[in-house]
Structure 1
Amino acid sequence: MIYPITAYGDPVLKEPAQDIPKDYPELKELVEDMYATMYHAHGVGLAAPQISKGIRLFVIDSEPMMDDEDKGKGVKKAFINPEIVEEDGEEWGFEEGCLSIPGVREVVYRPERIVIRYFDEEWNEHEDTYDGMTARVIQHEYDHVEGILFTDYLSGLKKRLIKNKLAKISKGEVDADYKMRFPEMSKKR
């Protein structure tokens, strides 16, 4: 199943997500649907709040972000109830975008390395270290389950410059080549 992507302005994107219990119904199907939705929208990561589910789950496939020398080193993985336990290294900037905020891209600075603890779909616990582009993709998606958007990292000036774009997105005045769910449209029903 392909879910509509929840657009900027929906409160679910700004609320910290809840832990998933081990008896969460049809979790494996949800993970597969999230991958399908992410690929359909040409994304490299998707968090459950982006499909209007306030739970601590995200999926990534960082392979498309790898440069020529790192081809084949991308990571495809689901992260359940994740917790970043350490961030270190030099902060580096990279222009990020978000499926929930189509048409907006801005440079965000993030640490180069992370250690993250999480469960997989079989409820096996992991603690892994990631760096570079994969760490960035994980940090971006992790922020979603914490109720943080990449635009929250921008300076006051940058936020003012994109304010009208963000308002239009929340009203459904945006072109995206995937189905979206808009907060302003939901209120009118």
Structure 2
Amino acid sequence: MGHREDLLEGAMRCLLEKGYARTTARDIVAASGTNLASIGYHYGSKEALLQAAFLRLMEAWGDSVDEPADAAGDRGPGVPPGAGPERFELIWERMVAAFPAHRALWRLQTEVLARLDEDEKLAEALRSWQARGRDELARLFGAVGAEPDPERARVAGLFVQALVAGVMSQYLLDPESAPTAQDLTAGLKALTGEGN
């Protein structure tokens, strides 16, 4: 690994351990085994490095809940093709199971969201990432078929992003009462009148 990747790895560790505001350039250098000049050379600034590290952490979380597609385009073993409550529940089981391992990331995300009004570059980077994340979530949950409907994918992605943020908040506040995949599926069915 070169200095660029070492810095990114060190910054990711610092973000999870210290948070966004408390991570200093010296912390990153100590965690990465590099030097202060490397930050400017490879990333331009500490802030740009922290943004890249945060986005990499969020992408890693997305990868942890997304199984690779098989040859037919289906999403991993046991996940039914297309959208539907069975697929919704199985994917949420993965997501909910991943929350404990990513608790530090969700705390970090809450801190980062609180910084957006004062950091336009960070907000801009997150807006772009959010749009990509929305598309990925729509695909993961089966809202993108063989003939993609951009509006269907957009609203499905928005819906799942809102659920992720809400579940994350509830999990941080009280993991014991946070919704399970079964709760979310039952709630979705109740709202849509399915199963009545």
* TM bucket, shorter chain: under 0.3
Alignment TM-score, normalising by the size of structure 1: 0.28
- Structure showing greater radius of gyration is 2
Higher-RCO chain (CA-CA 8 Å, sequence separation at least 6): 1
Task: Identify the structure with the greater helix proportion.
Answer: 2
